[in-house]
Amino acid sequence: MKILLTGANGFVGGHLAQALEAAPDIDLTATIRRPVEILAAKTIMVQDLDANTNWSEALKSQDVVIHAAARVHIMKDDAADPMLEYRRTNVEGTLNLARQAAAASIKRFIFLSSIKVNGEQTEVGRPFYADDKARPIDDYGVSKAEAEKGLQDISYDTGMEVVIIRPPLVYGQNIKGNFAKLIALVAKGVPLPLAMVKNQRSFVAIDNLVDLIITCINHPKAANQIFLVSDGQDLSTPELLDGMAKAMGRDIRLFPIPLSFLSLVAVIIGKRGEANRLLGSLQLDISKTLDVLDWAPVIDFEEGVRRCFRKNQKI
Q: Which residues are catalytic?
A: 140
**Spatial CB neighbours of 284, under 8 Å, sequence gap ≥ 6:** 115, 127, 128, 168, 202, 228, 229, 230
**Spatial CB neighbours of 65, under 8 Å, sequence gap ≥ 6:** 3, 4, 5, 6, 59, 97, 98, 101, 106, 108, 109, 110
> Strands 42-45 and 161-166, how do they pair?
unpaired
Q: Which of 187, 241, 212 is nearest to 12 (CA)?
A: 212
- The single-letter DSSP state of residue 183 is H
> Strands 201-205 and 234-235, how do they pair?
antiparallel
Cα 31 to Cα 25: distance, rounded to the nearest angstrom? 20
Q: First-to-last CA distance in the chain?
A: 24
Give the angle subtended at the CA of 41 by the CAs of 36 and 45, to the nearest 5°. 55
